[in-house]
Amino acid sequence: MADDQFPGWHGTTIIGVRKGGKVVIAGDGQVSLGQTVIKGTARKVRRLSPGGNDIVAGFAGSTADAFTLLERLEAKLEATPGQLQRAAVELAKDWRTDKYLQKLEAMLIVTDGTELYVVTGAGDVLEPEHDVTAIGSGGNYALAAGRALMDSDLDAEDVARKAMAIASDICVYTNGNLTVESLPK
């Protein structure tokens, strides 16, 4: 089957919210192949503890590729303890220039409880302007909902949960089975 005829992997919505002294990353559990839901309980948000420092990461894209990137991020964090931005930039540089890593298809949202970044294979390390960021198939829906909810009395986790509920109602590649991890600022 030609590449353009193969039904691509879809599914995943990950949101990161920083509000009121807390940073939350939430992700849905759906993995789809074409129009078929392959799994509804995937865990796409992980807690990492390189060198005893807590980091939360959420990923969208190929699971094997994301795990490779998470391992590389952990190594970068161990080499630069307590410096998430530096580790993320080093990962993005490697991802963009290494012939093996260039083929990886995933995106990451990472936080240490203070900093919040989206890391991409294009070499980007992006910090959200409005303390909300999202990636994946339903990312734009979750982002719009999250930004609208930021002015409410909801805390970071409630903003993330409500934004994900809205995204799962709109995006057929997103479900309401959430994994939520948070860190204090």
Tokens of 68: 């490779």
Residue 179 CB coordination number (10 Å): 17
Helix spans in the chain (H): 63-79, 84-97, 139-149, 156-170
Residue 89 CB coordination number (10 Å): 18
Q: Which residues contact 120 (CB under 8 A, 6 or more apart)?
A: 92, 95, 107, 108, 126
Distance CA 168, CA 185 (A): 28
Please list the active-site residues. Answer: 12
